[in-house]
Chain A
Amino acid sequence: MNDLMPCGKQATMTSTKSALIQRLDNEIKNMSPLAKQILQLISLCAYILLASANCHAADVLAPNQVLHRGNGSEPQSLDPHKSEGVPSANIQKDLYEGLVCESPSGELVPGVASSWSVDKKGMRYLFTLRKDAKWSNGDPVTADDFVYSWRRIVDPKTGSYYAQTLAPVLNAEDIIKGTKKVTSLGIRAIGKYQLEVKLKGPTPYFIGLLTHSSTYPVHKASVEKHGNRFARVGNLIGNGAFVLKEWSIQSHILLERNPHYWDNKNTKLDKVYYYPIEDQSSELKRYRAGEIDIVEGIPISQMPWLRKNLKQDLRLTPYLGIYYFGYNVTQPPFKDNKKLRQALSMVIDRKVLTEKILRTGELPAYSWVPPNVANYQQVEYEWKAWPMSRRIKYAKELIKQAGYGKGKPLSVEIRYNTSENHKKIAIVVASMWKKHLGVKTKLHNEEWKVFLANRKTKKHTQVFRSGWIADYNDAFSFAELLHSNHGVNDSGYSNPEYDALLAQSAKEADIEKRRKLLQQAEKILLNDYPVIPIYYYMSKHLVKPYVGGYEDNTMDHHYSKHLYIKAH
């Protein structure tokens, strides 16, 4: 297809499996010999099953191809340019199709574009659109549709939350700022089925970006006719494998097969239900009662029960995200006090946190960029390998040098937004600080919006919980977060050297050199301690054994068109 396609995905799949086996092995070590043998046998079987899950040619389809999916909260909108959040994106993946699509395992595959090429500098893409791609009313999907749609996203008048997704495209950022005209966007239709896209710099992850729902096309005629009400039942015309049939707010959204979809013959499901269920315990109960086939999130408190009773349905997969605590480095006590920041980070026993408290297979984090990111190799803290006792001793020395100790104990505040998980982690971190460094910690729980506002103004925060999930599979997605001008840099971290390295990497077309620049930047970042990496995220789902075509992948994207119901 394309030499820029990241090959890291493949590596991810295999490493997931080996991590699983590794974990099993660890558990086995603490058991009696007989139990060990049985378990090894089971794990072997599990592994064989896991491996054979990929060849599903022999599956017999159930006569009734209806899938019920839990979907977190109610989607804000089904307009791909005017929504935010995973629940909206999940449904939009079924209703629309971008230039590029993903396979069940997360590899990039052609979508509306049947092929594409890129020039040597990596700054000019030429997409060839498939001629059989149609809208759900039968209209052909053309290059002009993409030109219209992309201009719509970056147009400030649209008020799109994800306009920044197209930032790599030539002039996009100026248009978003309102300093350039919308028509100057670097996208051009060459005839009906050819699309030229110019970028402002080499962007190795650009093709990956095109799977993001904000780059999906919308049907010009119906948007112009219905305006704000375009994304509703009866008005919505999409180009995906499914069409919107019912939308009952806070109850369900029903999609049905789109007969005009170019690959309709390979779509197996006839109907897909999406249910907004915020309460994960409720979602789990409905799963157990057989009302839902795929669970969007698992309450971690139920994990032991699930491991015992529904182990075969559990799908725990690492995905590209980091859970971390940030320091507000613009205010005391953390301003200009690197030693203090380092000391607090070192004494957090991430292994205990992930293995004893979370128990959902999360990996402890000692770096900013998670493992398995395409074209990247992790940079980690050297003290990762130290035993806890040595880390604590070292940290005690540091905190003394930082000016705190017996006579002058440190008191800090951890802020977190409402969630069982965040609460637990904050409590445990506080207790580790208290135990090892005598730090007094106050916990401060806030509602999401209040929390965001306080985090952004950087006036009241000291230590705050945060997390980041990559929009695209590239280290830059994480690196840019701590650039001094980035909107989500809530630490207020600013290091000119770091910023310069990022700027340099954005101009670098050579993947090898680019990687080195980003690694160099991460080293500086880690050494400055503006953040405390805690663990790398896992996606957690329950999937009924009769759901076929479901594969774990690092982006946690699961298109309904790949799924089907096995006879059961």
Chain B
Amino acid sequence: MLEYFFRRLLGAIPTIFIIILVSFFLIRLAPGGPFDFDKTLAPEIQANLNTKFHLDEPVYVQFGYYLKDILQGDFGPSFQYKNYTVTELIAQGFPVSVQLGLSAMALALLLGSAAGILAAYRQNSKFDYGVMTISMLGISVPNFVMAPILILIFAIVFSFLPAGGWNDGAFQNRILPIVTLALPQIAYIARISRGSMIEVLRSPFIRTAFSKGLPTFYILTRHALKPTLLPVISYMGPAIAGIITGSVVVEQIYGIPGLGRYFVQGALNRDYTLVMGVVVFYGVFIILLNLIVDLLYGWLDPQIRLQARKT
């Protein structure tokens, strides 16, 4: 297991290198630089700034500098937020994004799989259609429509939740963003778990269990739950990555100091180091996440575990 873990980590190195390479050159290809404003800088000042950030040297030399720094764990100073380093910014923004993303995912997992499993148990009943239709609403309404509507209802009309802001992570400030993030995920998870539950219910060992006269609740939780959740788990890896990188909209609407907002602002302002830092950091994060999901999957499904050992 440990060996597998490290082998996967080693295998990730070329991946990370490619991510660095692509994003480094992509952002430098972009028209406009970090020190272009609607006012023009005096040439001498511009030159000084360029020297300070190595921007006056050929791109491959800059890339060398960057690789060297990053190997030492240094993402460099932010071009935009002059008093901070990129590492500091990521350290501030990432925990916020992760907390939101994971809470939303946990909520979605709970509600989504419960809805999906129950719908599957009563397949093609009114309950099934009802649950699936409601959950589909979460997919069909984009979050930038859902969020203002939620704010309008809960913050302005009934005014028992804040309309935005982070407030150092106070509980009431988290509720609306988490719900907004969770809604589409509830729908996806409900669909996946419904499909997989239908399949599991048809499988011989469950039929046997029913024929033995075991209580339904017992069968569902003890026998059917684990195999039903397998596809859900394999969905979770990319979904968590997606929910965290995709929370840009939610962060923007609710004014949350997460990493997605840094990224968009950084890209717009040509904050080379910040954009690079966020992309690279997320690349590593996604790799780790996929690895964890694979391990979890192996733990749930013995067949896969064997295969993993063989390869």
- Tell whether, in the assembled complex, residue A163 and residue B155 are in contact, meaning their CB atoms are under 8 Å apart: no
Binary CB contact string for chain B from 160 to 171 against chain A (1 if under 8 A, 0 otherwise): 001111111000
- Tell whether, in the assembled complex, residue B45 and residue A156 are in contact, meaning their CB atoms are under 8 Å apart: yes
Binary CB contact string for chain A from 218 to 256 against chain B (1 if under 8 A, 0 otherwise): 000000000011111000000000000000111110000
Contact partner, B82, options A77, A176, A249, A453, Cβ 8 Å? A77
A-B CB proximity, top 10 nearest: A487-B40, A449-B32, A250-B257, A289-B163, A453-B32, A77-B82, A251-B257, A156-B44, A178-B44, A453-B31
- Tell whether, in the assembled complex, residue B45 and residue A159 are in contact, meaning their CB atoms are under 8 Å apart: yes
Residues of B within 8 Å of A271, CB to CB, are none
Binary CB contact string for chain B from 135 to 146 against chain A (1 if under 8 A, 0 otherwise): 000000000000
Nearest CB in chain A to that of B253: its residue: A282
- Tell whether, in the assembled complex, residue B38 and residue A452 are in contact, meaning their CB atoms are under 8 Å apart: yes
- Tell whether, in the assembled complex, residue A275 and residue B262 are in contact, meaning their CB atoms are under 8 Å apart: no
- Tell whether, in the assembled complex, residue A289 and residue B252 are in contact, meaning their CB atoms are under 8 Å apart: no
- Tell whether, in the assembled complex, residue B253 and residue A291 are in contact, meaning their CB atoms are under 8 Å apart: no
Is A78 an interface position by the 8 A CB rule? yes
- Besides A250-B258, A450-B30, 10 other CB < 8 A contacts? A76-B81, A84-B37, A84-B39, A156-B45, A177-B43, A249-B93, A251-B165, A282-B151, A449-B36, A452-B37
Nearest CB in chain A to that of B53: its residue: A159
- Tell whether, in the assembled complex, residue A275 and residue B268 are in contact, meaning their CB atoms are under 8 Å apart: no
- Tell whether, in the assembled complex, residue A291 and residue B39 are in contact, meaning their CB atoms are under 8 Å apart: no
* CA of A242 to CA of B36, assembled, Å: 31
Residues of B within 8 Å of A73, CB to CB, are 265
- Tell whether, in the assembled complex, residue B257 and residue A286 are in contact, meaning their CB atoms are under 8 Å apart: no
Nearest CB in chain A to that of B46: its residue: A159
Is B175 an interface position by the 8 A CB rule? no
Is A337 an interface position by the 8 A CB rule? no
- Tell whether, in the assembled complex, residue B42 and residue A177 are in contact, meaning their CB atoms are under 8 Å apart: yes
Is B242 an interface position by the 8 A CB rule? no
* CA of A189 to CA of B252, assembled, Å: 48
Interfacial residues of chain B within 42-87, with CB under 8 A of chain A in the complex: 42-45, 47-49, 52, 77, 80-84
Given known pairs A74-B81, A76-B81, A251-B166, the reply for A282 and B252 (CB within 8 Å) is: yes
Given known pairs A282-B252, A449-B269, the reply for A83 and B82 (CB within 8 Å) is: yes
Q: What are some 5 contacts across the A-B interface (CB < 8 A)? A: A79-B82, A249-B81, A250-B262, A275-B165, A278-B252
Is B195 an interface position by the 8 A CB rule? no
Contact partner, A164, options B32, B39, B92, Cβ 8 Å? B39
Nearest CB in chain B to that of A232: its residue: B83
- Tell whether, in the assembled complex, residue B83 and residue A77 are in contact, meaning their CB atoms are under 8 Å apart: yes
Q: Please count how many residues in chain A sit with their CB below 8 Å of the partner chain's CB atoms.
A: 55
Residues of B within 8 Å of A230, CB to CB, are 83
Binary CB contact string for chain A from 154 to 175 against chain B (1 if under 8 A, 0 otherwise): 0011011111100000000000
Residues of A within 8 Å of B83, CB to CB, are 77-79, 228-232
- Tell whether, in the assembled complex, residue B163 and residue A249 are in contact, meaning their CB atoms are under 8 Å apart: no
> What is the CB-to-nearest-CB distance from A547 to chain B, in angstroms, rounded to a whole number?
19
Interfacial residues of chain B within 234-257, with CB under 8 A of chain A in the complex: 252-257
Give the residue among A76, A159, A229, A230 with the most B Cβ atoms within 10 A. A159
- Tell whether, in the assembled complex, residue A228 and residue B77 are in contact, meaning their CB atoms are under 8 Å apart: yes
Is A82 an interface position by the 8 A CB rule? yes
- Tell whether, in the assembled complex, residue A176 and residue B37 are in contact, meaning their CB atoms are under 8 Å apart: no
* CA of A242 to CA of B149, assembled, Å: 37
Residues of A within 8 Å of B44, CB to CB, are 156, 176-178
Is A281 an interface position by the 8 A CB rule? yes
* CA of A51 to CA of B165, assembled, Å: 36
- Tell whether, in the assembled complex, residue B42 and residue A286 are in contact, meaning their CB atoms are under 8 Å apart: no
Is A447 an interface position by the 8 A CB rule? yes
Interfacial residues of chain A within 107-133, with CB under 8 A of chain B in the complex: none
Given known pairs A74-B265, A285-B148, the reply for A176 and B165 (CB within 8 Å) is: no
* CA of A111 to CA of B270, assembled, Å: 37
- Tell whether, in the assembled complex, residue B42 and residue A77 are in contact, meaning their CB atoms are under 8 Å apart: no
Interfacial residues of chain A within 65-92, with CB under 8 A of chain B in the complex: 73-74, 76-79, 82-84
Nearest CB in chain B to that of A235: its residue: B83
Nearest CB in chain A to that of B32: its residue: A449
> What is the CB-to-nearest-CB distance from A109 to chain B, in angstroms, rounded to a whole number?
27
* CA of A231 to CA of B83, assembled, Å: 7
* CA of A156 to CA of B39, assembled, Å: 16
* CA of A10 to CA of B105, assembled, Å: 58
Nearest CB in chain A to that of B34: its residue: A449
Is A494 an interface position by the 8 A CB rule? no
Interfacial residues of chain A within 375-434, with CB under 8 A of chain B in the complex: none
Given known pairs A76-B81, A448-B268, A452-B38, the reply for A279 and B253 (CB within 8 Å) is: yes
* CA of A431 to CA of B36, assembled, Å: 32
* CA of A140 to CA of B237, assembled, Å: 59
Is B159 an interface position by the 8 A CB rule? yes
